[in-house]
Structure 1
Amino acid sequence: MNTALSRRTFLRGTVVGGAAVAALSLSPIPRARAEVTEERHRAVVVGSGFGGAITALHLGRAGVQTLVLERGIRWPTGPNAETFPHMLQPDRRMSWLSSAPVMTGTPPIPTEPFTGLIERVPGNGMDVMCGAGVGGSSLAYHGMTVQPDGQRFSDSVSSRIDYDLLASDHYRRVARMLRVATVPDDLLDHDRYRSSKHFLDRASAEGYDTFRVPMCIDWDFARRELTGELKPSYTTGDVIYGVNNGGKFSVDVTYLAEVERTGHVTVAPLHRVDDIERAPDGTWIVHVDRIHTDGTVLERKRIHTPALFLGAGSAGTTRLLVKAKAKGFVPDLPDGVGTGWGNNGDRVFAVTSPLVSPGDHQGGPACVGMRDYTDPAGPLMIVTGPVPFPVDVGTTTMIGLGIVDGRGVWHYDAGRDDAVLNWDQAYDRELTRAIEARIRRIAGPASIVIDVNAVDINTFHPLGGAPFGAVCDDAGRVHGQSGLYVVDGAKIPGSTGACNPSMTIAALAEYGADHIVSRDLDRVF
């Protein structure tokens, strides 16, 4: 055992793993009399979101026996299921090992800790919302599957990667797997989608380029809700914690279903990764807690592998790398670890329009939007954000996204034994003003527009922390660390071209896995 491991103590706070990240330890985690188990696997993937699942699929198809470590649980659903919680009815399923819901707008009613869907990772100047569960953040996201154009990709993601190749191959793979479709006319014309239709009308009248957002959704499920065949979920906008009826092609029912059909990959839920370490022989050790749904540690594991793929999401992957470097577990990691982080330019606004009511139980998900590439603050996109208000209060939400520099930095905090984000609100202030100005034009002069994130500063779209060039190559290989790979949004420096990042994360995972399997298999692992 090397000196770093000999210094390691297992009696620490909540740890990193799963499709996103672990909670900061704000209270002691209960521990059973847990034994330490040693395991060996040819390849280990941390996280089962887009990056981890796609990487595991390529490995499985290549015949590589692979273990996927996921901190959360499985969430099988639909039709007419009650798998997921409802936004305005708080229960323990909402939050990752928290005593209260972490989502803005949900009543803050205390609940018992549970390995729930969303974790709020507190930072200095910005909190990060991260998904948990088999399928990662795809469980709770709206399903927006948007591809940036080549110029915006080059400006914000990478000018080295061949965008034309991605567009002709890798983005298309993602669109096929997720069965992307836009909201059909009959739904958009229904009164439930009044707020979406009004958004398109107003944005068009202001001269903006409007569009229907590509979504990984079977819209027949929404139709069946309107006929009364299914309980409402899509058509009332109650989708932020998952869609109970099914019909959303999230990672668990697409990529991971294919992963498990290969017969070469095991997905292990309720396995929370604490630390990663390089062994004296150059292979990798993953320190894992197998946990109960209340957070109790049931078993401690040291998993050995020659190939370690980090797909724990931007925050999760970054925290593992920052901790490994600071604590001497992998002391010669690149200096860029922890840098290049951004919030994808996210901003949420509440909009109250007294002249045109959006209605109650506004149909969703966020299925229409507009683009503006002319603003001096840079290109931006604005989409509707229907909300499941049970009565018509005249209010809906609009969400802006743009390009920000990856100027956020994660630092190790020894007191917490964790990495903590540092973000200055000045980094995206100009973009926020531009988004607000566009929303005010769309909403009209009589409308009240409130910047929700000015009060509750958070993002659902964390990117960076292990960016291209500074930390890894274009395929995700970490510089100077044979067999260590970054396969998720941590390698993207801050934003994905003025659109939500899921499709680009997935396309880059496809691209990276092509390179890794063709060049590293049987040579590195």
Structure 2
Amino acid sequence: MHVGTSVEKPASSYDAVIVGSGLGGSTLALRLARAGRRVLVVERGDWFRPKPGTHDNDYLYDLLAPADDISYVGGRTKFYGAALYRNRESDFHERQLENGVSPAWPFGYDVLEPYYAEGEALYRVHGSSDGDPSEPRRAAPYPHPPLSHDPAVAKVIANLSAKGISSAPIPRGLDLGPNGACVMCAACDAHICRRDAKMDAETAALRPAMATGLVELMTLTECQRILLTSDGKRAEGVLLTRNGQQHRVLADAVIVAAGTPNSALLLRRSRTDQHREGIGNNTRQLGLRVGGHSAGTLFPLISLKRLGPRHTKTFAINLWYEGAPGWPYPLGVAQVSGQVPMWRMTHKLKQPIVKAIAEHSLTVVHMTEATPDEGTGWAFDGDRIAAYTTPRHQAKTYAKLRTLTEQAFQRAGYPVIRAPGSVAFWHETGGAVMGRDERTSVVDPAGAVHGVQGLYVADASVLPSAGALNTGLTIIALALRTGDAIVGSASDRR
């Protein structure tokens, strides 16, 4: 397990300062470093340090208790399942959904296609277009072949296929292959990888960026505010706090990549006389238009014997992404997730039952788009978030996808148990959405904050919508594109 070093005191100035080391921040740091820029990355968390001789601090939900908000170098990707999908072409267009409209993006799929390809290469994505009618156009194949299936999973796929239900490989970012670190173990989804085999933001992007000698990292550091010139028209740096010491750092470009809702909150608390409601909030759009995914879980029982530890997150059913016969709206995706000890999140009296179900089944997550609009998101009270309105849940669409997924596995011969409980909202987007019209957005199509030169946002906050697939690769692609905009802008100034 790699544990890197960080600086305790920054230099007085850099070409760029990036706040946050998640997918957007780390990817952009690498892009700028490869263009010869000196970069400071600021991270409020620390390097993950495993407990020697034990694995009791690898699982996300063990680390979340009792706190709800944790952070490490690499951000949330330290725990993600490394599913790296491209948005579908339809996701970039305005679409009528059950309870509203999924907004159009300020550009189409073709603009991001080359950046998707770059991101797939950088994060070592293994995949294939086979069995996925929703797969968008590609200029080149995936950089690596799809993952092989565990024998128990392969049997399920064969039985689904025999009933006319095609499945598709999940594109995954793993260090797999000759001399690769991945051994396809069971502890992947919602776990930190001690082998450094999962291509999270730190492993795939930040380490190579720091290896250039042009990128420094400050951990355990809070960005208190973004500094603007006296006229409020240009970012000139950041005010940082580490170990009780303040540091004023100047930079040609400041990139906010702290994730949702922290990026919006930082812009809010950086308000000035010229930006009284927060930077980028002159039209009161900051914190709004939050979207995401409505997610639920099914458990197809596939074995009378305990399955034991195995890597299961290798296939999905994408047949209904654009809709289904007799249903007028887009639906979404059903993905097999990794083995997660979810029983440890339930009441002690229920744990034996939940554990027994999990040990004999696959965990299948189904996701539909949760719609953003002008009323979803965070409301501010001073420098804090006072209220949150969730994205619009599409109850009937969610239920339809759930039923179709359940019926597919039942037709293949597998009884299905539905997880109880309310819908979960995953993969939040928005809060500083991109657009061409300042009246309905915070940043422009390149990620630059409207009306403030040298200030950018590069994380899930800028996505106008979430579609119905994992948002990670889209965040990566947008960060690469924003990096090009920053390099081009700096070259123009020089």
Report the TM-score when normalising by structure 1.
0.72
Aligned length: 430
Counterparts of 1:375-386 in structure 2, within 5 Å, are 375=324, 376-386=328-338
Structure-1 separation of matches of 2:393 and 2:74: 31
Counterparts of 1:113-512 in structure 2, within 5 Å, are 119=69, 132-155=71-94, 158-167=104-113, 169-182=114-127, 187-190=148-151, 194=152, 196-197=153-154, 199-201=156-158, 203-204=160-161, 207-219=164-176, 234-237=184-187, 239-280=189-230, 282-290=234-242, 297-325=243-271, 330=279, 333-343=282-292, 345-351=293-299, 353=301, 356-357=303-304, 359-364=306-311, 366-371=313-318, 372=320, 373-375=322-324, 376-389=328-341, 393-407=359-373, 408-414=376-382, 417-420=383-386, 422-424=388-390, 426-444=392-410, 446-454=415-423, 457-459=424-426, 461-469=427-435, 470-495=441-466, 497-512=467-482
- Give 1:446 deviation, angstroms: 4.2
Structure-1 separation of matches of 2:244 and 2:312: 38
Q: Is the 8 A contact 2:23 2:74 kept in 1?
A: yes
- Give 1:513 deviation, angstroms: 1.7
* 3-state SS of paired residue (1:317): helix
- Give 1:263 deviation, angstroms: 2.1
Q: Is the 8 A contact 1:322 1:410 kept in 2?
A: no
Gaps of 5+ in 1: 1-34, 103-118, 120-130, 291-296
- Give 1:201 deviation, angstroms: 4.1
Structure-2 separation of matches of 1:504 and 1:206: 33
- Give 1:434 deviation, angstroms: 2.5
Q: Is the 8 A contact 1:383 1:398 kept in 2?
A: yes
User: Structure 1 pair 308/206, CA: closer, same or farther in 2 (3 Å)?
Assistant: farther
* 3-state SS of paired residue (1:313): coil
Structure-2 separation of matches of 1:331 and 1:251: 27
In the alignment, does 2:25 pair up with 1:52?
Answer: yes
User: Structure 1 pair 479/357, CA: closer, same or farther in 2 (3 Å)?
Assistant: farther
* 3-state SS of paired residue (2:210): helix
- Give 1:468 deviation, angstroms: 1.3
Alignment match, 1:8: none
Alignment match, 2:5: none
- Give 1:142 deviation, angstroms: 0.5
Q: Tell me how large the CA RMSD over aligned residues is.
A: 3.6
Q: Is the 8 A contact 2:160 2:408 kept in 1?
A: yes
What amino acid maps onto 2:478 in structure 1? L
- 1:210-229 Cα offsets, whole Å, 9 max, x none, are 1011111134599999xxxx
Q: Percent identity?
A: 22
Structure-1 separation of matches of 2:396 and 2:371: 12
Structure-2 separation of matches of 1:484 and 1:434: 43
Q: Is the 8 A contact 2:35 2:487 kept in 1?
A: yes
* 3-state SS of paired residue (1:236): coil
Structure-2 separation of matches of 1:99 and 1:450: 24
Gaps of 5+ in 2: 1-7, 95-101, 129-144, 342-354, 436-440
Structure-2 separation of matches of 1:303 and 1:186: 44
Structure-1 separation of matches of 2:177 and 2:25: 29
Q: Is the 8 A contact 1:413 1:420 kept in 2?
A: yes
- Give 1:383 deviation, angstroms: 0.3
User: Structure 1 pair 201/334, CA: closer, same or farther in 2 (3 Å)?
Assistant: farther
- Give 1:522 deviation, angstroms: 5.5
- 1:70-129 Cα offsets, whole Å, 9 max, x none, are 112223789x98688243994xxx23xx635x5xxxxxxxxxxxxxxxx2xxxxxxxxxx
- 1:450-471 Cα offsets, whole Å, 9 max, x none, are 24544xx442x11111111111
Structure-1 separation of matches of 2:154 and 2:409: 13
